[in-house]
A and B are shown apart, each in its own frame.
Chain A
Amino acid sequence: MKPASFRYVRPNSVAEVCEVLAAEPDARIIAGGQTLTPMLAMRLARPSVLVDIHRIGELIGISRVDGAVVIRSATRQVDALHSAIIDEDLPLLAKALPWVGHPPTRTRGTVGGSIANADPSAEIGLVAVTLDAEIVLADGEDEEVVLAEDFFIGPMLTVASPSACLTEVRFPRRPDGRLGVGFQEISSRKSDFAFASAAAQLVLDADGACSELRVGVGGVGDVPLKLDAEALCGTRLADAEIRDFAVAAMADVETVGDLHASEAYRRRAGAALIAKAIIEARQGALNTGSSGGRNVG
């Protein structure tokens, strides 16, 4: 299981990356390589040249910019996992990151790589969609900003052109108030790709009613999906309401079936996990007390 031959370049800047990509239609970017390298090994991917971005300084780092948390694309997942900024300002992502791969894949795998790879069961992509993150692409001289929901168009397929380099992901910072987040996932083995996963972030008002709710579901179809949770806003998020919402939400979702999990299973598990994630988020918000604050559950 050895890759077909390729050339290897390691540009020093995004501009150089774009130059190579523009000149070489069969070039592929490698960042952490945790998904691409197995595909190379099995010769399912056969780039002419591998463009290594994993040490480009301008592509690494996590920062607060205006109301967003900006994660540069080659930031390693392990660094995101240990980031105080993410812990404080992106609690939903903080909750999802331990589910990404295993420790040894997180040490190499990158945040941008996970997004660009567009596996429908990937946790980071689900959080991006759920939170309306913006994905920034550099293509030659151009910079393009795409809403996460619009970025993913199919399994391992995105709107990014082959000449584009994903440079950063801008996640909206957590809202103030009594915030709670929930992340749930099911797979055969804990570290496998999820058959279904669900993310929820919500804010309770002083009376305990839900003033804001974001919900997403992953793994069940071709792309991670953001769900319309308007119906639950203004309610007190009773368990029964949440369950009805979850079942109704999944009723419209086109699920996929394979050897490991049937279409019906993904629908059922999706609904169950959506409900569990919202309940988890609600409990987290309730536990913060009525004063708000950042001690999210």
Chain B
Amino acid sequence: MNAVESKTKFVSTDRRVREDRRFVVGRGRYVADIDLPGMLHVALVAAQHPAARIVSIDASRALALPGVHKVLTGAELVEAVNPLMNGLETPQVRRFPLAVGQVRYAGEWVAAVVADTRALAEDAAERVKVEYEKLGFVIDAEEAYTPQSTPVHPEHGSNVLLDKTFVWGEVERHFAEADQQLSFRVVWGRNSTVPIETFGVVASWDPWQEVLDVWASIQMPKYSDQIARSLRLPGNSIRVHQDVDVGGSYGVKRGIKHSVLVGHLARALGRPVRLIEDRLENMRAGDAHGPERIFDVDVAFNADGIVRSMKMRALDNVGAYAGRAPFQLGKPIGAIVGPYKIESVQYQAISVTTNKTVQEAVRGFGQAPTNYAIETAIDRVAETLGLDRIEIRRRNFIRHDEFPYLIPSGSTYDSGDYHTVVDKVLAHAGYDDLVAERDRLRAEGMLAGIGIAACLEPSGGNSSFEPLLNDKNTTSTWMDSCRIMVDALGTVTATVHTTSSGQGHETLVATVVGEVLQIDPDLIRIVRPDTLSSLPSNSPVGSRMAIMLGGAAFKAAEKVKAKMVAIAAHAMGVPIETANYVDGTVRTADGREMAWEAIVNMAHRQFHALPEGMDPGLASDHIMQVPTGVQLPKDDKVQMYPCHSFEFHLILVAIDPLLGKPEIRRYVIGHDCGTVINPHIVRGMTLGGIAHGLGAALLEEFAYDAEGQLLTQSFMDYLLPSSHEVPDVEIVHHCTPSPLTVLGQKGSGESGYLGSPAAISGAINDAVRPLGIHFTRLPMRISAISDAIAEAGPTMTQEEI
């Protein structure tokens, strides 16, 4: 692999994020901004029941309204499209954009109404009469796991989509040898990323070209392939316009069902059709809820705090259909021991269907819940042994000199320096003062606690979890690409072959290409071709773009540079090895030079002057394989992602014992994602991720009542953190470059979120430790905190107002 640049001109410097300029003037171009002549609008008819047979659908009153063009039902749609893809081999869990024959969760789309305006479509949707016959349903994951539970998909035979137990290493022996064991259960509540922009898609069919043009708020690997498959169209009949700005995603903007629905309608009606979810549609049937997971953990450890082995049972409630969501149990296998040297692990991954909204990929792809369970385990061991929670982490950390480090489940961690990051955080925070402050608060009658979380962010997103959990899947690449063109006037254009949802890909590519070619990144144009003009990409998932798009841009730029050197060396009659590229000019050892413009001109116009066998023009592309992603799984082990960023959270929380509201008084995070390409972007990701995790820890939940109805379907009840709730965060940087990437960079797109729920939980549990309480469920609502405190210590109820 390439050596890390010793000195960079643009990488890691304090440069502006170029995308920001269009957004601050309101000139982003989001899917809802696409206006096509003759465009029609979709509204959905939503199921009232968590499970019911559709007896009949009467659309006559809807169709009687002027301006209503179509009411599409599942029964009609199923004749025209193939089922949506499942990640696992669960062919009887059939999913279509609209319910077919039966509804499987409250809010599921039963019919799509197409009208001249969205308001009119909503008027008509109210007039569609659906007759149901209620069926039995299941909401709870443990209940769904039992054989006697009502199957959400009777054809599948049970609610179990996945139940696989992995044993890596000598688990039983380590448990037998260890001095002590402990067990606990923690529950990660159903939350999600909930972007401020809902999902939307616009499609237009040209029957003469046989092309479906698609504009969508999308962040989805192989999006156009999946639409083509479902719509039974050739792959090159789908043209996705990737220059659409996506108003936040963080994983969930997958929208296949919406896109197949709208694509079908556009073809059927011969008019452009758009579906922009409203907030209610988004919350209850956008199929974008996140993991909901019960962890049962057993830990075996020695008296000195060394954790020998761990057994983890993870039961995930994916909701009514399968999709890609069960894979979120697979990705954490790549960091199943966190930053610790745990010798062996048993991991049971269970995925069940229930009559809840469908789950989608969420920031970290299952890693944040897993980190919460691992960090709870370490805190519990410390508590059991009466050891300091930081000291016990130090004892278990992989040491800097032990990298590359192979963990039991088959991934090798590339690099890290966990002890140093912790030292830097403690020094920055003034740890002793922080402890003193906690104790001072306690003396004042507050509950106060310190939270600690040490977490990994696997990055460089490969999809090795696919073949690991599905042996019919033989995927071993998850490439990304970049093309660079130097035009005849000498200006440079580079490409991004996916959509962006705020990650700053244009800045990334411009910075990296500028670095390699030693030209001002601001002068490089970045474009996003449509999918028919694109090289392969797997979209910005899995904290991968700094590594993969950055890597592809770097290598494509190196090819351009090499060609320029070859042209100039030939022109000046010197061996290539002696020609030196400096700031866009090629110099010879004897002091001659050939300038950028001259080389470009030669490449574009003077074929006669080019080295023999060289093609004219000045362009290059690079399709990059994921570093380390070369093997299929073997013996239930696999290299998951290539790179492993590290974060260490240290926080102080104070709680009024009566009111129960946790206030974060101090938040410090140490962050090591290797070489930082743009400091603003990495900082923003980290701060945003922490805020997102704060929501998961304290505020956000898709909660259901016993009747299977979603209680939190608007922003009145699903509580996103505001500027009042998110504290100031201090970031302590450290850089342990990855040996596997072109600049030493690792991923940072999921940072913060992967550890803040664990840290906040740890702090609140530290605060109530004197009362003998453990909070074991997220979100920790203030009412539940206060109620538990009151129950534990009735004597203090009126003492501490």
Touch between chains A and B, by CB atoms below 8 Å: yes
Q: 0/1 per residue, A180-212, Cβ < 8 Å to B? A: 000000101111100100000000000000000
A2 within 8 A of B: yes
Asked if residues B801 and A195 are in contact (CB atoms below 8 Å), the reply is: no
Q: 0/1 per residue, B72-107, Cβ < 8 Å to A? A: 000000000000000000000000000000000000
Distance in Å: Cβ of A213 to nearest Cβ of chain B? 17
CB-CB under 8 A from A4, the residues of chain B are 123, 126
A43 within 8 A of B: yes
Main secondary structure of the interface of B (DSSP, over half): loop
Q: How many angstroms from the CA of A4 to the CA of B698 in the assembled complex?
A: 36
CB-CB under 8 A from A43, the residues of chain B are 122, 126
A231 within 8 A of B: no
A7 within 8 A of B: no
CB-CB under 8 A from A190, the residues of chain B are 722, 724-725
Interface residues in B110-138 (C-beta closer than 8 Å to A)? 118-119, 122-123, 126
B786 within 8 A of A: yes
A272 within 8 A of B: yes
Q: How many angstroms from the CA of A97 to the CA of B314 in the assembled complex?
A: 47
How many chain B residues touch the partner (CB < 8 A)? 36
CB-CB under 8 A from A268, the residues of chain B are 658, 786-787, 790, 797
Among the 9-residue stretches A122-130, A256-264, A284-292, the one with 4 or more Cβ atoms under 8 Å from chain B is A256-264
Asked if residues A192 and B719 are in contact (CB atoms below 8 Å), the reply is: yes
B278 within 8 A of A: yes
Asked if residues B699 and A259 are in contact (CB atoms below 8 Å), the reply is: no
Asked if residues B725 and A276 are in contact (CB atoms below 8 Å), the reply is: no
B48 within 8 A of A: no
B781 within 8 A of A: yes
Q: 0/1 per residue, A247-266, Cβ < 8 Å to B? A: 10000000000011110110
Asked if residues A189 and B725 are in contact (CB atoms below 8 Å), the reply is: yes
How many chain A residues touch the partner (CB < 8 A)? 34
Q: How many angstroms from the CA of A186 to the CA of B661 in the assembled complex?
A: 8
Asked if residues B659 and A247 are in contact (CB atoms below 8 Å), the reply is: no
CB-CB under 8 A from A188, the residues of chain B are 698-699, 719, 781-782
Asked if residues B119 and A261 are in contact (CB atoms below 8 Å), the reply is: no
A1-B278, A243-B798, A272-B801 given as contacts; is B719 within 8 A of A189 (CB)? yes
Asked if residues B118 and A2 are in contact (CB atoms below 8 Å), the reply is: yes
A156 within 8 A of B: no
Asked if residues B781 and A264 are in contact (CB atoms below 8 Å), the reply is: no
A275 within 8 A of B: yes
B279 within 8 A of A: yes
Q: 0/1 per residue, B262-295, Cβ < 8 Å to A? A: 0000000000000000111000000000000000
Q: How many angstroms from the CA of A125 to the CA of B689 in the assembled complex?
A: 38
A5-B123, A259-B711 given as contacts; is B801 within 8 A of A276 (CB)? yes
Q: 0/1 per residue, B698-718, Cβ < 8 Å to A? A: 110001000000011010110
B783 within 8 A of A: yes
Distance in Å: Cβ of A268 to nearest Cβ of chain B? 6
Residue of chain A at shortest CB distance from B720: A189
B721 within 8 A of A: yes
Asked if residues B798 and A247 are in contact (CB atoms below 8 Å), the reply is: yes
A42 within 8 A of B: yes
Residue of chain A at shortest CB distance from B120: A2
Asked if residues B712 and A259 are in contact (CB atoms below 8 Å), the reply is: yes
Distance in Å: Cβ of B564 to nearest Cβ of chain A? 54
Q: Which among B119, B703, B781, B783 has the highest number of chain A CB atoms within 10 Å? A: B783
Residue of chain B at shortest CB distance from A102: B722
CB-CB under 8 A from A244, the residues of chain B are 798
B326 within 8 A of A: no
Q: 0/1 per residue, A152-178, Cβ < 8 Å to B? A: 000000000000000000000000000
Q: Which A residues contact B (CB, under 8 angstroms)?
A: 1-5, 38, 42-43, 186, 188-192, 195, 239, 243-244, 246-247, 259-262, 264-265, 268-269, 271-273, 275-276, 279
Task: Give 28 A-B contacts (CB < 8 Å), ordered by A residue.
Answer: A2-B119, A4-B126, A5-B119, A42-B714, A186-B659, A186-B661, A186-B782, A188-B698, A188-B699, A188-B781, A188-B782, A189-B722, A190-B722, A190-B725, A191-B724, A243-B801, A244-B798, A259-B712, A261-B782, A262-B787, A264-B787, A264-B790, A268-B787, A268-B790, A269-B659, A271-B798, A272-B656, A273-B659
Other A-B pairs beyond A243-B798, A259-B717, A264-B790, 18, CB < 8 Å: A1-B279, A1-B280, A2-B118, A2-B119, A2-B122, A42-B714, A188-B698, A189-B722, A189-B725, A192-B719, A195-B783, A243-B801, A260-B717, A262-B783, A265-B782, A269-B659, A269-B660, A272-B801
Nearest 9 CB-CB pairs, A to B?
A: A2-B119, A265-B783, A1-B278, A190-B724, A272-B658, A261-B783, A275-B801, A243-B798, A186-B659
